Amino acid sequence: MNIQWDAGKYAQDFAFVPKYGEALLALLDREKANTVLDLGCGGGALTEQLVQAGYDVCGMDADAAQLKLARQRCPNVRFFQGDATAFSLETPVDAVFSNAVLHWIDRERQPDALRCISRALRAGGQFVFEMGGAGCGAQIHSALRRAFEGRGLAYHMPFYFPTVGEYAPLLEQAGLRVTYATLFDRPTPLAGEQGMEGWIKMFVKEPFAAIPTAQAEEIIREAVEALRPSLYQNGVWTADYVRLRCKAEKQV
């Protein structure tokens, strides 16, 4: 999926994405890894954490604006632009690290991405990642779907949110042995009174691509109001996130 990010706004209003990803760093086995690819590095917030932890890091992202921010944040790191479903490295790395990226890839392209990741790892290398899991944003997407369908429009889910049981076989088919996997709820506070509207506009772009701006605004307002009773409490909007966190090793 190709998304044109407002990298500055993303860094300012959605800093929780890399912030929550910090917990993922603990899954890396430092004794077995030196070189790391930060896959879908975005603005480089977690790349910087990896560098500070002592790893030799390179970063890849599909978005040029995000890479510009990453290079400013980590000027001594090699960053390159690439597609997670069609990339290769000249030299395999000890670990591939990825936070909040894989759910952007359509289900049918997941095997392509995992094959690339497997090829990028040395034998015994680690793949540590977190992505949206089954049920992530279910209330938000249901509200949007109802608003779309009420106008005779189809709502196409723009993300792939698998269960552990669905995703583990894909990893295994790519030659990756799953050593840790968990699916967990992570309600996520959003910034500001317009937090839910801002979240939808930042992350749910594809379903609105062919819809006139005025109608899109109307749909978003309707969905936000439908969500208010359940996801707006004490002046704070919360996204009903579910995360899939895994670690796998490339089979020797």
**2 CB neighbour count, 10 Å cutoff:** 9
- What pLDDT, on a 0 to 100 scale, did the predictor assign at position 3? 53
- What pLDDT, on a 0 to 100 scale, did the predictor assign at position 7? 42
Give per-residue pLDDT as tens, 89-105: 999 999 999 999 999 99
The whole-angstrom separation of Cα 245 and Cα 37 is 17
Residue 4 reports pLDDT greater than 80: no
**Residue scoring higher pLDDT (19 or 109):** 109
Residue 187 reports pLDDT greater than 90: yes
Residue % of the chain over a pLDDT of 70: 92
Average pLDDT over residues 119-137: 98
The DSSP secondary-structure symbol of 77 reads S
Residue % of the chain over a pLDDT of 90: 90
Strand partners, 132: 243
Average pLDDT over residues 172-182: 98
Burial 10-46 (b: 16+ CB within 10 A, else e): bbebbeebbebbeebbebbeeeebebbbbbbbbbbbb
Return mean pLDDT, the chain: 93
**Least confident range of 5-14, 88-97, 243-252:** 5-14
Sequence-distant (≥ 6) Cβ neighbours of residue 151 within 8 angstroms: 215, 219
Asked if residues 97 and 147 have their Cβ atoms less than 8 Å apart, the reply is no
**190: its two tokens:** 């959003």
pTM exceeding the 0.75 threshold for the entire prediction: yes
Residue (of 204, 189, 215) closest to 140 by Cα position: 204
Amino acid at 133: G
Residue 5 reports pLDDT greater than 50: no
Give per-residue pLDDT as tens, 45-70: 999 999 999 999 999 999 999 999 99
Give per-residue pLDDT as tens, 18-48: 567 678 999 999 999 999 999 999 999 999 9
- What pLDDT, on a 0 to 100 scale, did the predictor assign at position 10? 44
What is the gyration radius of the CA atoms in the chain, in angstroms?
A: 18
- What pLDDT, on a 0 to 100 scale, did the predictor assign at position 23? 85
For 162-206, what is the HEC assignment?
CCHHHHHHHHHHCCEEEEEEEEEEEEEEECCCCHHHHHHHHHCCH
CATH number, domain 7-136+159-189+240-250, options 1.20.1250.20, 3.40.50.150, 3.40.640.10, 3.40.50.10320: 3.40.50.150
